[in-house]
A and B are shown apart, each in its own frame.
Chain A
Amino acid sequence: MTQTPEVSRRGGDETRDALIVVDSVVKSYRGKRSITHALDTTSLEIAQGEFVSVIGPSGCGKSTLLMMIAGLIPPTEGRIFVGGEEVTSAIDDVGIVFQEDLLLQWKSTLDNVLMQGAFRDISRDQLRERAVGMLEMVGLSEFADSYPDELSGGMRQRASICRALVHNPSVLLMDEPFGALDAMTRDQMALDIQGMWADTQSTVLFITHSITEAVMLSDRVLVFGPPPGRLVEEVVVDLPRPRHLSVREDPEYAALVGRIRTLLEEMGVIRDYTTAEA
């Protein structure tokens, strides 16, 4: 691993402790007549406080990897460690954002965010204070008492990101969180994510189909190959933080995007619809 983010906001160095360790993990599903290999032998490490994106074609096992790190499905082979402990069941020092906002329709926006603490041993008042603060930050204060039905898609997804971060988890896992949103909302969300991440110490695994988003947000981009997926290459993004949307005009940024796009083209997997701007 050649992790040298000199100007990175985290200012990390190579000796940073790996928070997430994926060790020779394989995932396959046994059907009646065949075995489907979702993820081929994959090993990787993600350091404390690092923002790592995973990009690759559909069906390359990205989501499977995320679910295994969260302890929600077991790996077929290999082991996963989070914070030094082997993951054997669902971990709870984690926030997860899926493509669907998954807000509970029968609860207000604020109560949806507070749901994160419903089963945890957390002080109610402290949690509420944080939740209100986060909703404020993403411009949802006025909608704290509204039902999800009354919010637009982007607003709902913002609320679900607040829910994922309100308990200040060590790990934030996001599975194509902007997948259902339009391009301009996506830009705003990318800025929001960056802002919220800056306020936490969370280690982020961000799964996306968008090369530009991956480069804009990440310290490192992991490029996965076609199914059965495996890690093909990792690209270190050494751009100064905080990054603005204007970073897209930066030649270094464009070079990184181009490199990843070339990698995906070489694998014959151009499924990405946002690469045109690169």
Chain B
Amino acid sequence: MTTRQPKPDSNGVSEQADTLSGPPTPRPRIEILNPKPDRLRIVRELSYYAIPVLLIFAIWWLAIEIFSIKAYLLPYPHDVLATLWTERVQLLQEGWVTLQETLLGFGLAVVVAVPIAILVTFSRIAERTIYPLLVITQVVPKVAIAPLLIVWMGFGISAKILLAFLVAFFAIVVNTATGLGSLDIKMVHLARSMGASTWQIFVRFRLPNSLPIFFAGLKVGVTLALIGAIVGEFVASGQGLGFLTVVAMGSLKTQLVFAAIIAMAVVGVGMYAAVEALERLLIPWSRTGARRGMEALS
């Protein structure tokens, strides 16, 4: 089934007299198309990433050729790729550590942020007391408190998790609260007239309605969490991609620095893509494309 044909106007004889009993006057002819499943989507989406990446590599390579940049300042892209391969074991190990820190920090941020966002949505006192606190924690540069956290919590993974949490937390709280508050007050009225209780309104209307904005917060949050974890590794650590970068820089292994940066990008993009995939799975209805097409038709 790919198209649906509108009904022919079988009631054309006496449309006005038919309005009460028969089918009403002709409808706008709008056909809903069910496109074939897009099997090549992953290939296509990867190519969206590949094209700019290749462009960057080309400019990078040209810059070295034109300005005769020395290898310890800027190595050739193919040398960096070679390093990515030769150092793959170490990169995977350190990348795994960074991924763990980021995900745990991000997960913690979600678990803490959502209840606070709910509290803020429903209690004006909570909103007025918690929000200023959140803003204060947000404006303090995390790099500044990172050394403190290291002193308190040691060189292990926990200080990095906490940093990832601190950096990601704010974006998730703000977006979740915004999403929960975005339900039209008239929708609440309507739900109440349907006999829904406050709890039912929350679960059946407010929560699903908040999901698109909630996911926007998750996408920002997950990339921020990676930054938090790396900052922690920069300040003091014995493992992770941030640590690897610091060590490689110290011994002027510029190729390895670049390889580590690329690994960070891969971790970040991967997590972002995972959140996006989850979004598509949970809220398939949040598509703006269909609506745009329909507005063009009507």
What residue of chain A has the Cβ atom nearest to residue B25's Cβ? A188
Known A-B contacts A146-B32, A147-B285; A191 and B192 likewise in contact (beta carbons under 8 Å): no
Contact A194 B19 (CB under 8 A): yes
Is there a chain B Cβ closer than 8 Å to A98's Cβ?
yes
Distance, CA A150 to CA B33, complexed state (A): 10
A73 to B288 alpha-carbon distance, docked (Å): 34
Q: 0/1 per residue, A44-72, Cβ < 8 Å to B?
A: 00000000000000000000000100101
On chain B, the residues within 8 Å of A142 by CB distance are 4, 6, 32
* Alpha-carbon distance between A104 and B186 when the two chains are bound, in angstroms: 12
Contact A244/B16 with A105-B286, A138-B24, A143-B32 known, Cβ cut-off 8 Å = yes
B298's closest neighbor in chain A, by CB? Answer: A152
B139 part of interface (Cβ distance < 8 Å): no
Question: For the complex, is A23 an interface residue (Cβ under 8 Å from B)?
Answer: no
Residue contact A100 to B286, C-beta cutoff 8 Å:
no
For residue A20, CB closer than 8 A to chain B, the reply is no
Considering the complex, which residues of chain B in the window 259-298 have a beta carbon less than 8 Å from any beta carbon of chain A?
283, 285-288, 290-291, 294, 297-298
Interchain CA distance A245-B17 in the complex, whole Å: 10
Whether A150 and B187, one on each chain, are in contact in the complex, defined by CB atoms closer than 8 angstroms, is no
Let me know if B46 is at the binding interface, CB within 8 A.
Answer: no
B205 CB contacts on chain A under 8 angstroms: 104
**Of A112-120, A208-216, A252-260, the one with at least 4 CB within 8 A of chain B:** A112-120
A173 to nearest B CB, angstroms? 8
Contact A198–B194 (Cβ < 8 Å): no
CB-based contact A149/B285 at 8 Å = yes
Binds B, one of A31-39, A89-97, A266-274: A89-97
Complex formed: what's the CA distance from A118 to B19 in Å? 31
Instruction: State whether A106 and B27 are in contact (beta carbons under 8 Å apart), knowing that A96-B193, A150-B290, A245-B16 are contacts in the complex.
Output: no
The 5 A-B pairs at the shortest CB distance, nearest first, are namely A152-B298, A119-B195, A92-B195, A90-B192, A244-B16
